[in-house]
Structure 1
Amino acid sequence: MSHRNARLTVHGRRILVERVLAGRPVAHVAAEMGISRPTAHKWVRRWRIEGEAGLHDRSSRPARTPHRTPAATESAVCRLRAERKLGPARIGPILGLPASTVHRILVRHGLNRLAFLDRPTGRIIRRYERARPGELVYVDIKKLGNIPDGGGHKVMDRRTAMDNKLATTDERKSSKPVIGYAYVHSAVDDHSRLAYSEVLTDERKETAAGFWQRANAFFARHGISVERVLTDNGSCYKSKLFTQALAAAGITHKKTRPYRPQTNGKVERFHRTLLDDWAYLRPYTSNGERTAALAVFLHTYNHHRCHTALGGHPPISRVNNAAGQYT
């Protein structure tokens, strides 16, 4: 790709060649276009040898690198990274390499971030993305502590917050009152990252099945026909009721392997964003206030928030693009 101050683009090089072929001196054409004679001769020569393809930019990558680190040393770097999870600053002294060289080797092999590895096994996590919306939808639950009326200790001092907790729990005499949890049920489309969430009171099979019916209706309103649903092995998802709710709509139910949250990674990552941009964004004074803010977050996430995996576009843009592609 040409840099921003380049005098010639592919179009400009084509004009250069045309003027030279018309019989004008190369030096005169070079002066008119603000480039040197050697540069003008270079593009004319490339055009005569390669034709139109010779006018395009070439990769600056060298054809050979005689001083590249030996393959055996690179294998040792990768082995230390995978087995012992060491960083460049620790691998370097062990193998007698600069930390910068170790880092380049790790980047070359896709090991520069520990998040790219499965921690127990050290294997590279294989990322995947389905070809169209609805081909796979992730469903999961995130548990959040309830907020006592008036707010917790982030809104007021701890003594007042404790009194609020006692009042919220029917004035039970307890030094550690339990006010319960709210359960955020979420469904995320693999291809578009379009998301739907609800704050519910539990994670029972009836609640999970009802949530899915509403989530499926949400995806249908956006023109997405769900084919498969991937869940973990929670009891509500292993129930016959949840499986029947999927089968009634002709949807295949898939489950992750036990203790492999990476398989469900897109909804896990969505929950992290949900916590940062909604649940812990600001102090709330009640459960109702926090729940009401969820709708604003979902609209922003689906329609306005740029997603790095989508080329800087929001999920709804990929849904619309896919609708035009497959209709």
Structure 2
Amino acid sequence: MPHRNAPLTELGRLRLARCVVEDGWPLRRAAERFQVAVTTARRWAERYRLHGAAGMTDRSSRPRHSPRRTPTRTERRIIKVRLARRWGPARIAYLLRLNPATVHRVLTRYRLARLSHLDRATATPIRRYERATPGELIHVDIKKLGNIPDGGGHKIHGRAAGGRNSSAHRDPARPRTRHGRPNLGYGYLHNAIDDHSRLAYTEILPDETKETATAFWLRAQAYFTSCGITVQRVLTDNGSAYRSHLWRDTLTAAGITHKRTRPYRPQTNGKVERYNRTLLDEWAYAHPYRSETERRQALPQWLHTYNHHRGHTALNGAPPASRVPNLTGQNS
């Protein structure tokens, strides 16, 4: 398509060329009539003589020869480093002694995926999937989170004062695991998220044993059932709690299929891993909490916001609740 200030469209070019070729107008007269340069009138007249009306269409401005283009061998080296080491244009340029802009143009020319779209283990584009209905697959995982001392930690008071608060409020039943670092204990975030809707359920529990994990799942299953979701499959990693007979028997009794990820492949359980990151960024570390109790009290409200109000990028900006039929009761 011609640009917005172009004096000639394809029809205008055809009219100009016919005036010159068929009606015998001088080039200067035709150029004045159509308000273009004489060289422009000559170009379209010559194309009309050679190709007829088909010659009036736009042509690519790409040159036939590019003697200063990056050599093919160099392009192959850039692509090899990109896929093997998963580096950005600047680091590749420093390694190969090239201009970063040159490397970026090569990567753009071959339409290589962004680094965030590549699998870290294989460097191949990530194949994203999504189950068709809620409950078809539930992702379950545990995230270990250090407790906050009373009065606040280093995020509020800095390292010196935060360290004193930690030392004053550490768990006396827990010895220091490292010299000079008090052991305040941990909270274990047990998370379950629906693959289709991204509806999430989270509890903070004191450990990650099989009894605790199984009891959490029973409550999570009851929550999904209350939302009208019938769980069919559960996907977990290979943690000891999920390899136990208690976990297996509990799922089997409910008619639920248990799937586990391949070892060292957390990407398979990527939806709950991404939820863990969102949980830390938007709740656990989002505010300078002054105690662990204050942070835990903020979790239910954040979880409600996540499920019912927060726009999810994978859902085109809609909240997870929008994908669960009649969760909010609007059709009852």
Tell me the distance in 2 between the aligned counterparts of 1:233 and 1:137.
15
Structure 2 unaligned blocks of 5 or more: 1-57
Which one-letter code corresponds to 1:133 in the other structure? Answer: P
Residue 247 of structure 1 pairs with residue 252 of structure 2: yes
SS at match of 1:229: strand
Residue 215 of structure 1 pairs with residue 232 of structure 2: no
Tell me the distance in 2 between the aligned counterparts of 1:154 and 1:293.
17
Which residue is 1:51 aligned to?
none
Which residue is 1:304 aligned to?
309
- TM-score under structure 1 normalisation? 0.69
SS at match of 2:190: strand
Tell me the distance in 1 between the aligned counterparts of 2:326 and 2:109.
37
Which residue is 1:137 aligned to?
138
Q: CA deviation at 1:298?
A: 0.5
Which residue is 1:169 aligned to?
172
**Residues 194 and 84 of structure 1, relative CA distance in 2, 3 Å threshold:** same
Q: CA deviation at 1:159?
A: 5.5
**Residues 164 and 239 of structure 1, relative CA distance in 2, 3 Å threshold:** same
SS at match of 1:135: coil
CA contact (8 A) 1:131 1:191 kept: yes
Which residue is 1:120 aligned to?
121
Which residue is 2:88 aligned to?
87
Tell me the distance in 2 between the aligned counterparts of 1:67 and 1:244.
68
Tell me the distance in 1 between the aligned counterparts of 2:81 and 2:301.
46
Q: CA deviation at 1:308?
A: 1.0
Q: String of CA shifts for 1:65-114, please: whole Å, max 9, x gaps.
A: 976999x77766543311132323455667898344224235x24x22x2
**Residues 131 and 91 of structure 1, relative CA distance in 2, 3 Å threshold:** same
Which residue is 2:321 aligned to?
316
Q: String of CA shifts for 1:267-323, please: whole Å, max 9, x gaps.
A: 111011100111111122322221111101101111111111101111111113899
Q: String of CA shifts for 1:193-232, please: whole Å, max 9, x gaps.
A: 1110000000000000010011111111111111111000
Q: String of CA shifts for 1:230-287, please: whole Å, max 9, x gaps.
A: 0000000110111111111111000001111111111111011100111111122322
**Residues 88 and 102 of structure 1, relative CA distance in 2, 3 Å threshold:** farther
Structure 1 unaligned blocks of 5 or more: 1-61
**Residues 65 and 240 of structure 1, relative CA distance in 2, 3 Å threshold:** farther
Residue 98 of structure 1 pairs with residue 102 of structure 2: yes
Q: CA RMSD in A?
A: 3.3
Tell me the distance in 1 between the aligned counterparts of 2:197 and 2:295.
26
**Residues 241 and 98 of structure 1, relative CA distance in 2, 3 Å threshold:** same
**Residues 238 and 64 of structure 1, relative CA distance in 2, 3 Å threshold:** farther
Which residue is 2:294 aligned to?
289
Identity, in percent, stands at: 55
Which one-letter code corresponds to 1:295 in the other structure? Answer: P
CA contact (8 A) 1:223 1:323 kept: no
**Residues 65 and 144 of structure 1, relative CA distance in 2, 3 Å threshold:** farther
Tell me the distance in 1 between the aligned counterparts of 2:315 and 2:106.
30
Which residue is 1:227 aligned to?
232
Query: Which moved further from structure 2: 86-95 or 207-216?
Result: 86-95
Query: Which moved further from structure 2: 195-204 or 81-90?
Result: 81-90
Which one-letter code corresponds to 2:172 in the other structure? Answer: T
Give matches, 1:3-82, under 5 Å: 77-82=78-83
**Residues 63 and 75 of structure 1, relative CA distance in 2, 3 Å threshold:** farther
Which one-letter code corresponds to 1:105 in the other structure? Answer: R
CA contact (8 A) 1:150 1:164 kept: no
Residue 206 of structure 1 pairs with residue 211 of structure 2: yes
CA contact (8 A) 2:149 2:166 kept: no
